[in-house]
Amino acid sequence: MSTESTQSAACCNLPAIVSEGYQPKGDYITVDGLKTYATGPKDAKQAILIVYDIFGFFPQTIQGADILAYSDKDHGYQVFMPDFFEGEPADISWYPPKTEEHGKKLGEFFQTKAAPPKTLPRIPKIVKELSESKGVEKWAVVGYCWGGKIVNLSSMEGTPFKAAAACHPAMVAGDDAPGITIPYAMLPSKDESKEDVEKWEAGLKVPHIVEWFPTQLHGWMAARADLADAEVKEEYERGYKILLDFFHKHM
C-alpha cells in the first residue's frame, strides 16, 4: 500500500511517443570526464539526474529523458544522463540470459563495470559540477534497473537530491529502506519480487509511492521497452506521467 495517490496532477502534455527512429532533443557534454546526455531548458533551475540501465544510451531511455525535460511547458527540467560505463555497456542480447555464456558475461559485467562502489562516488561530484556550471538549485534522481539500486544508495543521509525514483529496479533490498531520507517513488514491473518490494516499502520512513505495472516486463521504461506495442507504449507514458507528478510535488 502506497502512502500517496498516484493520480497525476502535473500540468504535463507528453509528446507523441516514437517507437523507432527517435531523434534526441538534447546533446552531449562532458561532466566529471564522462560523456553525458543533456536535455531540457537551459535556464531551468531544477534538474533530474538519470542513472540508466546496464545497456547505456538507448533510444527509449533518451526519449524518456526528453519527456521528463519538456513535458510541462511551465515546469521544465534540465536532465542529465552520464555514461557511467564509459562506452562499454552490457549487450542487450545477454538479458535475459539464454545461454551459460550470456549468464557469465552478465555476472562479470555486474562485478566490474556495474559494481556500485565504482559509480556511487561519482554522483556527488557530477551534481556539484553541474550545479555550478548550469545554475541548478534543486535536484531529483531516477534510476532504471541497475540504476534503481544506485539511486537507492544515493538517497541516504547527506544526499544532494530532493526526491528520487526507481523504475523496474534491480537488487531491491529491505535493508536499504530505513536509511532513505527523501521522498521516493518506485515503479516495479511484473518481474520484480513482490516480497522484496514489500519488505523495502515496509522499512521506509519517508513519503513514497509504489506503483506496480503488473503487465510490463523488467525494463519497459528504458532499453527493453517495445514501443511498437500499444500496451507497452501506454504504460511507458503512464510511468513517465507518474514520475513527473512525483517530482513536481517534492522538488
Termini Cα distance of the chain = 23
In a domain, 147, yes or no: yes
Residue 98 CB burial class (10 angstroms; 0-12, 13-18, ≥19): exposed
Domain count, the chain: 1
Q: For residue range 32-78, list pLDDT tens digits in order.
A: 999 999 999 999 999 999 999 999 999 999 999 999 999 988 889 99
In a domain, 73, yes or no: yes
Q: For residue range 129-171, list pLDDT tens digits in order.
A: 999 999 999 999 999 999 999 999 999 999 999 999 999 999 9
Q: For the chain, what is the mean pLDDT?
A: 94
Average pLDDT over residues 217-244: 96
So what's the pLDDT on residue 72? 87
So what's the pLDDT on residue 159? 98
- Please give the grid coordinates belonging to residue 34: 564522462
In a domain, 13, yes or no: no
The pairing of strands 184-187 and 163-167 is parallel
Average pLDDT over residues 224-236: 97
- Please give the grid coordinates belonging to residue 1: 500500500
In a domain, 16, yes or no: no
pLDDT at position 195 over 70: yes
Percent of the chain surpassing pLDDT 90: 89
In a domain, 5, yes or no: no
144: β partners? 167
In a domain, 76, yes or no: yes
- Domain holding 202, by residue range, is 27-250
For residue 51, what is the domain's CATH number?
3.40.50.1820
Q: How confident is the model at residue 96 (pLDDT cuts 50, 70, 90)?
A: confident
In a domain, 1, yes or no: no
So what's the pLDDT on residue 16? 83
pLDDT at position 6 over 60: no
So what's the pLDDT on residue 1? 37
Q: How confident is the model at residue 8 (pLDDT cuts 50, 70, 90)?
A: very low
189: β partners? 213
In a domain, 148, yes or no: yes
Average pLDDT over residues 234-244: 97
So what's the pLDDT on residue 208? 98
Amino acid at 92: I
Q: How confident is the model at residue 12 (pLDDT cuts 50, 70, 90)?
A: low
